Amino acid sequence: EEPSSSPKSRFITRFLGALTKINAEDPISSPSPTRIFQRYRRNKVASNKSMAYSVRSRRIWSRAMLSRFRSRRSAFSGRRSSAKTTNCTTINVTINENKTAKAGLDMQTDELRELVPGSEAMDVCNLLDETAHYIKCLTTQVQVMRKIVDFCHLSK
């Protein structure tokens, strides 16, 4: 793997390798709902790991995902704790006249923190930057998966 390769090409290489390994280790023999769900979970984990490893530890969200993968033997479930973070950084915006607007902004910021891995203690500027990068990577993930599906349909 070239050090100058793009995150997208690193993702493609890792993800296709993971899919090949999954297919070799566990060929679909019976299409039961349980087996389909298990396969879905393995593919989801492979995709998330591939995405985090392709970005490496350059981003907070990828470091958080990589840390989860390393600390747990079980697969990344994508589940989030329902408890709100108590150490959230407050938005440095003064809204004296309209407290409802600030409460709404705080709620939206908290919702973003629930979506972006590792964002619990970020200030708003970093949160927005990490969110934009995370969305870009998720978009790449979807584009690659669509191309794989298109290729599979064409090859039939």
* pLDDT tens per residue, range 76-121: 344 444 333 333 333 444 444 456 766 777 888 899 999 999 999 8
Q: Cα torsion for 25, 28, 33, 37, to the nearest 10°?
A: 40
91: in domain:
no
Q: How far is CA 90 from the centre of its chain?
A: 24
95: in domain:
no
109: CB partners within 8 A, 6+ apart: 88, 91, 124, 127
92: in domain:
no
What is residue 106's predicted lDDT score, i.e. its pLDDT? 82
CA torsion sign for 12, 18, 24, 30 is negative
Give the range of the structural domain holding residue 114, as residue numbers without chain letter.
7-77+101-155
128: CB partners within 8 A, 6+ apart: 112
27: in domain:
yes
14: in domain:
yes
83 or 47, which is more confident: 47
Quote the CA–CA distance of 77 and 92 in Å, as a whole number. 33
1: in domain:
no
84: in domain:
no
Per the confidence metrics, is the pTM higher than 0.75? Answer: no
Domain count, the chain: 1
- Rounded to the nearest integer, the mean pLDDT of the chain is 79
33: in domain:
yes
CA nearest to 123, candidates 135, 109, 137:
109
The one-letter amino acid at 148 = I
- Which letter does DSSP use for residue 89 in this model? P
Q: How many residues can be counted in the chain?
A: 156
- pLDDT, mean of residues 59-69: 90
